[in-house]
Amino acid sequence: MRPPTVTHAAPPASILLYSAARVYLAVAGWKIEGELPPLKKAILIAAPHTSAWDGPHMLAVAWAFRLRLHWLAKHTLFKGWRGPFMRWLGAIPVDRRAPRGLVGEVAERIANADGIILAIAPEGTRQRTEHWKSGFYRIAEAADVPILCGFLDYGRKVGGVGPALVPSGDVRRDMDRIRAFYAEITGLRPDASGVPRLREEDEAAATSYDRDANAAE
């Protein structure tokens, strides 16, 4: 387990959270792996997402890195006493009915923050899905921040961070890099994990095929 010094540029977690995370991970038999790059802002991919245990493990791993991690939650979950508690955990309320849409709303929040690492689970569900939701990619593009690969590997009981990439606009190329990283990462329920793929990739491939077919006629 790493020492409690802050070695990254993002908002730090407190010593109390760091200590609690150390105890939690030690009892659970988990270790952390990787190094946080010197980023003040980033979108962190939270994957694979196949179990309700992913949330507590993700927060514990982040706090063990001395990282104050943020994540999105429906605004309706912040009513009454739950609001302060949710915010303490790092949750950010979002309203999908916002005029600018979810991508615009979150990108604006990131732009106005001094520093923030925002975790997003692209699978969007704990059930198997053939496509990841592209929100993480679109938010990173709109906010002009890197994408950081976070992971929970239940096969090795290791959580941590992998490579960071800046969205190039070439979705397939960027997703190829992401797919290569997650190829050996195992969720708690492997049968519920699909291959990281965006629907936009299939649509782009179909458009390219139609264009080539028309040119050949």
Question: Which of the residue ranges 24-33, 75-84, 95-104, 191-200 would you say has the lowest mean pLDDT?
Answer: 95-104
The whole-number average pLDDT for the span 91-95 is 88
Quote the pLDDT of residue 190: 86
Backbone dihedral angles phi then psi of residue 12, each to the nearest 5 degrees? -90, 150
* H helical segments located in the chain: 15-28, 54-64, 82-89, 101-112, 135-143, 171-182, 199-216
Residue 141 has pLDDT above 70, yes or no: yes
Provide mean pLDDT across the span 126-150: 92
* Average pLDDT of the segment spanning 73-102: 86
Distances in whole angstroms, Cα of residue 26 to Cα of each of 31, 52, 110, 158: 8, 19, 33, 11
pLDDT score, position 214? 45
